Chains A and B, each alone.
Chain A
């Protein structure tokens, strides 16, 4: 593998620099999606009739291919990182809203009554009681959203080199150097695995009361979450 880390200079970044850009373009949208999903899920739980239409809209947005999204957005935001990040943030909603809404809804009634009796208001009860208890479900949603986000950033390479590690793919074609494409695929995969592991570690820190052997428990709900998000 000669020249595996020999990045063409027209990408204007070193290998580590590309990783940094990739993480920024992938993780900021998930964070934005989380900030948007938290109040949305709260509203969906307060007003039950809101839940199906919100899910419907996010599902339709999710069905729009990322490349089409990018190209349409170029009109407003130009060929910038923002153009890549906006669709990714919207995509993450389709996983995060049901994850948070269902997680928060599964909090036992007596716990809620206890919080109310202690004088918690709605917002404070949501932030300090319901969300911590729903943390495993929320993190399961974050894992799916993060993995897909990291993989989708690469498509940004098609709209004028905004794809971070994906730009290596374009360079691989331009200079006929398959090892660059292999580098991009492998590095992206490793990034996804590392971020996933970080989220699992975060769940362990946030929920010290849960059993530590979490493989079965954390692997199982993810698929169900995604199907829920994408289909109902």
Chain B
């Protein structure tokens, strides 16, 4: 009955630590799905966000697209994608990317828009080309906010990537789905704990990356 005793039982069972259904391999799968989805979402959201934020055009269109994407249910998209495409990695990536693009896109756009115009004008006055204004001035200043958008996206992906197991893929969701059908609550709680821990590690990683790449002058806090 006690959740903590489930956690303890799950992690002390040595059978959970080896083989294709062991914690290391499931964790690796989960991280792979999450990184792939985050990479695709960043590849879509960052360039579009930077460009629209720099030019200041298309803000309303971004808000509309982001709101529409947010309204789509991940689980529903997954089932629909599987029914239309068949089983595989692609139908899992579709809902994860749809989930992750809005925070990346909107935050990047808002971050670049919110950069103090004085240094941007100064950079232009010094004869910087537009691309250099964007990458040498606007991006470094906007970096903390851009990272926070990526962090939100990463957290949502890590927690939602569990649905991959529903369509016969691996990842930590395997424990939750299998545990559900086997009435094995120990497995479910163990899987959920692993996902929560992975989320916290993701948070810590983003904090560390922020410390490393954000210029000390921009880091106000």
User: B17 near A: Cβ within 8 Å?
Assistant: no
User: A151 near B: Cβ within 8 Å?
Assistant: yes
Q: How many A-B residue pairs have CB under 8 A?
A: 156
A126 to B191, CA, bound (A): 41
Which residues on the B side are within 8 Å of A166 (C-beta)? 73, 75-76
A67 and B72 contact, Cβ closer than 8 Å, known pairs A219-B106, A223-B107, A226-B103:
no
A151 to B71, CA, bound (A): 7
Residues 159-185 of A contacting B (Cβ, < 8 Å): 159, 165-166, 169-170, 172-173, 176, 178, 181-182, 184-185
| B195 contacts A64, C-beta separation under 8 Å | yes
Residues 88-118 of B contacting A (Cβ, < 8 Å): 103, 106-107, 110
A219 to B60, CA, bound (A): 9
Which residues on the B side are within 8 Å of A158 (C-beta)? 166, 177, 180
Residues 137-186 of B contacting A (Cβ, < 8 Å): 148-149, 151-152, 155-156, 158-160, 162-163, 166, 173, 176-177, 179-180, 185
How many chain A residues have a CB neighbour from B under 8 Å? 51
User: B48 near A: Cβ within 8 Å?
Assistant: no
| B152 contacts A231, C-beta separation under 8 Å | yes
A181 to B75, CA, bound (A): 10
User: A83 near B: Cβ within 8 Å?
Assistant: no
Segment among B20-28, B36-44, B62-70, B125-133 that sits at the interface with chain A: B62-70
User: B4 near A: Cβ within 8 Å?
Assistant: no
A34 to B156, CA, bound (A): 22
User: B189 near A: Cβ within 8 Å?
Assistant: yes
Residues 1-31 of B contacting A (Cβ, < 8 Å): 1, 3
Which residues on the A side are within 8 Å of B1 (C-beta)? 75
| B110 contacts A220, C-beta separation under 8 Å | yes
| A64 contacts B192, C-beta separation under 8 Å | yes
| B76 contacts A169, C-beta separation under 8 Å | yes
A185 to B106, CA, bound (A): 23
Output the residue of A155, A165, A170 with the most chain B CB within 10 A. A155
Q: How far is the CB of A161 from chain B (nearest CB, A)?
A: 14
A189 and B79 contact, Cβ closer than 8 Å, known pairs A64-B196, A67-B162, A215-B60:
no
| B180 contacts A67, C-beta separation under 8 Å | yes
Q: How far is the CB of B68 from chain A (nearest CB, A)?
A: 7
CB < 8 Å neighbour of A147 from B60, B70, B79, B192: B70
Q: How far is the CB of A78 from chain B (nearest CB, A)?
A: 13
| B188 contacts A227, C-beta separation under 8 Å | no
- From DSSP, what is the main secondary structure of chain A's interface residues? helix
User: B77 near A: Cβ within 8 Å?
Assistant: yes
CB < 8 Å neighbour of B79 from A68, A172, A220: A172
A3 to B199, CA, bound (A): 41
User: A216 near B: Cβ within 8 Å?
Assistant: yes
Which residues on the A side are within 8 Å of B35 (C-beta)? none
| B73 contacts A154, C-beta separation under 8 Å | yes
| A63 contacts B71, C-beta separation under 8 Å | no
Q: How far is the CB of A209 from chain B (nearest CB, A)?
A: 23
Q: How far is the CB of B101 from chain A (nearest CB, A)?
A: 12
- Interface membership of chain A positions 57-70, coded 1 if the CB is closer than 8 angstroms to chain B and 0 otherwise: 00110111101110
| B71 contacts A178, C-beta separation under 8 Å | no
A220 to B111, CA, bound (A): 10
User: B74 near A: Cβ within 8 Å?
Assistant: yes
- Interface membership of chain A positions 140-154, coded 1 if the CB is closer than 8 angstroms to chain B and 0 otherwise: 000000011011101
Which residues on the A side are within 8 Å of B155 (C-beta)? 63, 230-231
List, sorted by A's number, 6 A–B pairs whose CB atoms are closer than 8 Å: A62-B159, A63-B155, A63-B199, A72-B192, A189-B73, A190-B71
- Give 17 A-B pairs besides A68-B192, A215-B60 with Cβ atoms closer than 8 angstroms: A63-B196, A65-B162, A65-B173, A67-B162, A71-B180, A72-B189, A150-B73, A151-B75, A165-B76, A169-B80, A176-B83, A184-B76, A192-B70, A219-B106, A223-B107, A223-B152, A231-B206
A interface, CB within 8 angstroms of B: 59-60, 62-65, 67-69, 71-72, 75, 147-148, 150-152, 154-155, 157-159, 165-166, 169-170, 172-173, 176, 178, 181-182, 184-185, 188-190, 192-193, 196, 215-216, 219-220, 222-224, 226-227, 230-231
